[in-house]
Amino acid sequence: MYSVFTAPDLLPDLYDAGTAGVIEHGGRLEAFFEDRSAAALFGEPQLVEEMDWVQHTRDAWPPLLVGERFFVVAPWRAEPTPPGRLRLEINPGMQCDTGQHPCTRLCLEAMERAVRPGDAVLDVGSGSGILSLAAKLLGARRVVACDIDPDAARVAPFFIGSADAVRTGAFDVVVANINEDVLGPMRADLERVAPRRILSGFQDEEGDWTCLVC
């Protein structure tokens, strides 16, 4: 078995190349391969001891307490939901946004404040669907997700595309956890479709990940 460290945005490519499992380490991914040549496509492979990689991968996704209300867990975790918390189950797989990245946690914390029961919520660039699931748990009456990636998780009414295809004022809240280069050109459409916006995926002047609520 070989392992290689690489960037999070290569997660779909890792699965296409046949990775046996992926673990996140502080914003970087460690991918495991049976074949050294496959691992070498992503960096310098390191030989690792034989292990139960399924259990090793599962152990790498412990439950997370996020904000004041969320308990983020993988489906295989058996820990009970703490009192007063909402159990947010997300399967670490081919899509990003599992709750491990600071931007995802910042979005969840912002949603606790911005999403009200009965709201209509649009999740732009939905990825794993974690923010759509969170909106439902917070009592949103309608949640729609969209992504330009056709392989994004279909956890809500979903369409392939972006905010430019949405009618003006169709939602109460729009949430978008996307990088800054993508968010910039989308800003006018995001402002057009919802009066409340949660935007993340970028860093402030000090280099810290941040979330804008407007």
Q: Identify the band that residue 186 occupies on the pLDDT scale cut at 50, 70 and 90.
A: very high
Match 């909402």 to its residue by tokens: 86
Q: Residue 161 — very low, low, confident or very high, per pLDDT cuts 50/70/90?
A: very high
Residue range 31-41: mean pLDDT, rounded: 91
DSSP structure string for the chain = -EEEEE-GGGHHHHHHTT-SEEEEETTEEEEEESSHHHHTTSS--EE-----HHHHHHHTS--EEETTTEEEE-TT--PPPPTT-EEEE---SSSS-SS-SHHHHHHHHHHHHH--TT-EEEEES-TTSHHHHHHHHTT-SEEEEEES-TTS---SSEEES-GGGSPTT--SEEEEE--HHHHHHHHHHHHHH-SEEEEEEEE-TTS-EEEEE-
pLDDT value of position 156? 84
pLDDT at 24: 80
CA distance 119 to 139: 8
Percent share of the chain, pLDDT over 70:
94
Per the CB < 8 A criterion, the answer to whether 178 and 201 are in contact is yes
Distance between CA 188 and CA 157 in Å, rounded? 23
pLDDT of 94 reads 47
Q: Band of the pLDDT at 131, cuts 50, 70, 90? A: very high
Q: What is the pLDDT of residue 109?
A: 97
25/199: higher pLDDT:
199
**Cα 140 to Cα 32: distance, rounded to the nearest angstrom:** 39
C-alpha distances in Å from residue 193, one per residue of 1, 48, 168? 49, 50, 5
> Could you tell me whether strands 209-213 and 196-203 are parallel, antiparallel, or unpaired per DSSP bridges?
antiparallel
Domains, the chain, ranges and CATH? Answer: 2-59 (3.30.70), 64-213 (3.40.50.150)
pLDDT given for residue 129 in this prediction: 92
pLDDT, one tens digit per residue, over 136-147 is 999 999 999 999
For the residues 147-167, what does the mean pLDDT come to?
Answer: 91
pLDDT cut 90: percent of the chain above it? 62
The pLDDT value recorded for residue 93 is 60
Is the model's pLDDT at 96 over the cut of 60? no
Closest alpha carbon to 3 in 52, 36, 51: 36
pLDDT of 182 above 80:
yes
Span 110-115, average pLDDT: 97
Across the chain, what does the average pLDDT equal? 90
The pLDDT value given to residue 97: 63
The answer to whether 120 and 114 are in contact (CB under 8 A) is no
Q: What is the reported pTM?
A: 0.76
Instruction: Give the separation between CA 174 and CA 213, rounded to whole angstroms.
Output: 10
Q: What is the pLDDT of residue 20?
A: 85
Q: What is the pLDDT of residue 154?
A: 84
